[in-house]
Amino acid sequence: MESTRSTFPAFRSILFALSCFVVMPALAQWRITTVDSTGSAYNPKIVADRLGHLHVSFLDENGLYYTTNSSGAWVSSHLFQGTVASATIAVDRAGHGHLVYVTGSPLRTISYLDHTGAGWSAPQTVVENLDGVVSLTIGVDSAGHAHVGWVTAVSMAGSGPLMYATNASGTWVNETVGGAIQAYNAGALAVTAAADVQFAYYANAGIYHIAKPHGGSWATAEHVDTVASWAEGLTIDLALDDAGKPHIAYAGGPNAYLRHATKPVSTWITETVQPGVYSIAIRAIDVDGSGLSHVSFMDIETGYLRYGTNASGSWTTSPVVPISWMHDIAVDEGGYPHIVYDMEGAIRHVTTRPPASNAFVRVRTGLPKVNFSSAEWGDFDGDGWMDIAITG
Q: What is the pLDDT of residues 37-94, one digit of tens each?
A: 989 999 999 999 999 999 999 999 999 999 999 999 999 999 999 999 999 999 999 9
Burial of residue 311, with CB atoms counted within 10 A of its CB: 0-12 exposed, 13-18 middle, 19 or more buried:
middle
Strands 187-191 and 337-343: unpaired
pLDDT single digits (tens) 264-283: 999 999 999 988 765 556 88
pLDDT single digits (tens) 8-41: 333 333 333 323 333 333 346 899 999 999 899 9
Q: Could you tell me how far CA 250 lies from the centroid of its own chain? A: 15
Lowest mean pLDDT among 29-33, 137-141, 198-202, 373-377: 373-377
pLDDT single digits (tens) 192-207: 999 999 999 998 778 9
Question: Vertex 215, ends 214 and 218: CA angle to 5°?
Answer: 80
pTM given for the model: 0.84
End-to-end Cα separation, the chain, in angstroms: 44
Helix and strand counts by DSSP (H, E) for the chain: 0, 34
Q: Average model confidence (pLDDT) for the chain? A: 85
Give the up-direction half-sphere exposure of residue 234: CA atoms within 13 A in the CB hemisphere: 35
3-state secondary structure of 213: coil
